[in-house]
Structure 1
Amino acid sequence: MKLFDVYPLYDVTPVSANGIEVIDEKGQKYLDFYGGHAVISIGHSHPHYVARLKDQLEKIGFYSNSIQNPLQNELAQKLGELSGCDDYALFMCNSGAEANENALKMASFHTGKAKVIAFNNSFHGRTSAAVAATDNPAINAPINQQQEVTFLPFNDTEAFEKAIASDDFCAVILESIQGVGGLDEPTTEFFQFVASTCKSHGVVLIADEVQSGFGRSGKFFAFQHHGIQPDIITIAKGMGNGFPVGGVLIHNSFRASYGLLGTTFGGNHLACAATLSVLEVMEDENLIQNAAEVGNYLKERAKELPQVKNVKGRGLMLGLEFDFEVSELRKALIHNQHMFTGGAKNKKLLRILPALNVTKNHIDLLLEGLKKELK
């Protein structure tokens, strides 16, 4: 049997990693400024993370959600405390797509309606309703297209007000900072208008924090930069530092009932241990503050590169925009400078998504590598 060929692969084979360093089978070290799509939040093989998982695995790694699992309650309490979202309830799942799928399902249950408003250049996952709300026809199969989704531009209050006036919608879903789409974000004025309009029309507002959450933007959630309160918040990516974890934060105004949502693997003992270790390291090492400070440092230093036309995003969810497509630059950074970076739907954007404990010295190395390749 061979692998189903859906990923274009760089000729690099990592065999170990530590902090922001990745080592391949030849012993070559790479600096990881991408974290596998913002997944690595506290650094590769963080000792507390490794110890937490090893200790848990020696006790019990998995049992179904039909039994008591005190780790889930511990996690919910810690997450509410650090995020400032105590007035939400946690449902655990396995991925960002699954989180968004459950969020959209909850919105439809809650309102009795089915239509969704999403935004241009959005990415919410590759499953049923999540992919229908993703602005990429190439990955939206005919079976997914039966979902009714209206795509609108960010920051166009007139278009939004006109669309939502039909009262046919169960949900508005948006990324507080777009990831795959290219680091665009709504203005505070527009985000607050969307929130208040959703409330007046009885439409559920879903903040997709799958990539921007867990401290990456310089606040625990990126919507917190805008002073709004979503009805539902979705999380994944950096939540487990590489262990597959997702979650949905559902406001206490929603009613739960047995069987409403369910999952086989979501919230298992190892997933809880992984997520708790991430939260503990974030708190102990002040990583949200570090994300804000190092992100601002990168923004300022990037101005030294005349080829950089714009810097987008917040915290350590940043994009350097050029006036040329960056695919060859990314290859050169990997093969010549031994640095991982990311691309986006915007082909001229280089995405920078390192672990939240990256240092200013690491950023200096990134910029030196960029200078060498941009000559």
Structure 2
Amino acid sequence: MNLFNVYPLFNIHPVKAEGSFLWDEKGEKYLDFYGGHAVISIGHNHPYYQGKLKEQLEKISFYSNSVQNELQTELADKLGKLSGYEDYNLFLCNSGAEANENALKLASFHNGKSKVLYFSGSFHGRTSAAVSVTDNPKIVAPVNYSERFIKSDWNDIEQLEQIFKTQGNDISSVIIEGIQGVGGIMIPTQEFLSKIKTLCEEYNAVLIMDEVQSGYGRSGYFFAHQEFEIQPDIITTAKGMGNGFPIGGVLIHPKFEASNGLLGTTFGGNHLACAAAIAVLDVMKEEKLMENAQHMGDYIEQKIKDFPHIKSIRRKGLMIGIELDRDCSEVRKELLYDHHIFTGNSNDKSVLRILPALNIGTQETDLFIDALQTVLNAI
């Protein structure tokens, strides 16, 4: 049997990782400035994280959600305190797409409506409803298309108001990323988010904030939307939540009523996943990683802002989009193969996406800065 060939792969085979570095089977060392799509939040193989997982493995690694699991309670308590959403409830699942699926379903259960408003440039996942609110026709199969899903332009208040004026009574929810990642580090304006919140309240629609990539301290706030003092009805999270262990979550406003069987999952919130997620929160708090994300993001921007071929820098904390005056693919390849540095791209071909671990330091960061300068100067 062969693998189903759906991933374009770099010819690199990592076999070891520590902190912000990877090593391949030949012993070559690479700087990880992408974290596997912002998944590695506290660095590879953080000793505290490793210890928590090993400790849990010696006890119990899995049982279904038909029994009590005190680790889920501990995770909910710590997540509520660190995020500032102590009065919300938590549903645990396995991924960002699954979190968004459950959020969309819960919203529809809540108000009995069926339409969903999403935005240009969005990415919310590859499963049924999640991919239907993702702005990429290449990954939306015919079975996923439906008139229930309405697209509006990013940061376009006039179009947003017009859609609500004509279809607002049928809109169950609005789903929006705290910062668009795949879309190219696109940041919503305060006015845009405020208008969405106002319209949701006026038309009894649920505001779902997708913080799968932009959450967990990535922006310098626990959730990116908190900079704008907007309170969503539902918040989804995943990626950095488990530092590589698959876990996702839905933070749910107390106005939503739970009932037996309303939502469910086999693997979500299992013992190992909770141990990983608790370790991440402990490290974030102890090492003040949100503050570090703000500090190191500022540091990178100040160092690179005058480099040639950079048109703009779109950034919150360590969620960074470097817009070049050309397609970024060659720059990305040179950084990887000539300088051994992992970076990312986006649907905007000119944007180099930077998502390092939140505990990155100046020593590792200077390696990236020097390499980027060398590559850009050589163009």
- Please report the TM-score for the alignment, with normalisation by the length of structure 2: 0.98
Once the 2 structures are TM-superposed, how far is the Cα of residue 265 of structure 1 from its aligned partner? 0.1
Taking the aligned partners of 2:18 and 2:328, their CA distance within structure 1 comes to 27
Structure 2 counterpart of 1:254: 256
Taking the aligned partners of 1:119 and 1:49, their CA distance within structure 2 comes to 36
Structure 1 counterpart of 2:307: 305
Once the 2 structures are TM-superposed, how far is the Cα of residue 262 of structure 1 from its aligned partner? 0.1
1:133-157 deviation digits (Å, cap 9, x = unpaired): 0000110001111362111112221
CA contact (8 A) 1:177 1:313 kept: no
* Structure 2 counterparts to residues 159-178 of structure 1, below 5 A: 159-165=159-165, 166=167, 167-178=169-180
Structure 2 counterpart of 1:276: 278
Taking the aligned partners of 1:316 and 1:72, their CA distance within structure 2 comes to 28
* Structure 2 counterparts to residues 65-76 of structure 1, below 5 A: 65-76=65-76
Structure 1 counterpart of 2:50: 50
Taking the aligned partners of 2:120 and 2:155, their CA distance within structure 1 comes to 11
Structure 1 counterpart of 2:119: 119
Taking the aligned partners of 1:330 and 1:151, their CA distance within structure 2 comes to 31
Residues 1:25 and 2:25 are matched in the alignment:
yes
Structure 2 counterpart of 1:128: 128
Percent of counterpart pairs with the same letter? Answer: 59
Structure 1 counterpart of 2:92: 92
Output the amino acid matched with 1:86.
E
Taking the aligned partners of 2:116 and 2:253, their CA distance within structure 1 comes to 19
Q: Which runs of 5+ in 1 are unaligned?
A: none
Q: What is the number of equivalent residue pairs in this alignment? A: 375
CA contact (8 A) 2:121 2:154 kept: no
Which stretches of structure 1, 4 residues or longer, exceed 3 Å deviation after superposition? none
CA contact (8 A) 1:132 1:147 kept: no
Candidates 334, 337, 340, aligned match of 2:339: 337
Structure 2 counterpart of 1:151: 151
Candidates 339, 357, 360, aligned match of 1:358: 360
Output the amino acid matched with 1:240.
G
3-state SS of paired residue (1:143) = helix
Structure 1 counterpart of 2:140: 140
Taking the aligned partners of 1:311 and 1:346, their CA distance within structure 2 comes to 13
Once the 2 structures are TM-superposed, how far is the Cα of residue 313 of structure 1 from its aligned partner? 2.4
Q: Which runs of 5+ in 2 are unaligned?
A: none
Structure 1 counterpart of 2:16: 16
CA contact (8 A) 1:154 1:185 kept: no
Taking the aligned partners of 2:251 and 2:315, their CA distance within structure 1 comes to 23
Once the 2 structures are TM-superposed, how far is the Cα of residue 223 of structure 1 from its aligned partner? 0.4
3-state SS of paired residue (2:371) = helix
Once the 2 structures are TM-superposed, how far is the Cα of residue 299 of structure 1 from its aligned partner? 1.3
Structure 2 counterpart of 1:372: 374
Candidates 290, 293, 299, aligned match of 2:292: 290
Structure 2 counterpart of 1:181: 183
Structure 2 counterpart of 1:263: 265
Structure 2 counterpart of 1:214: 216
Structure 2 counterpart of 1:241: 243
Give the stretch that moved more between structures: 13-22 or 138-147. Answer: 138-147
CA contact (8 A) 1:206 1:231 kept: yes
1:253-305 deviation digits (Å, cap 9, x = unpaired): 10000000000000000000000000000000000000011011111111131
Residues 1:62 and 2:92 are matched in the alignment:
no
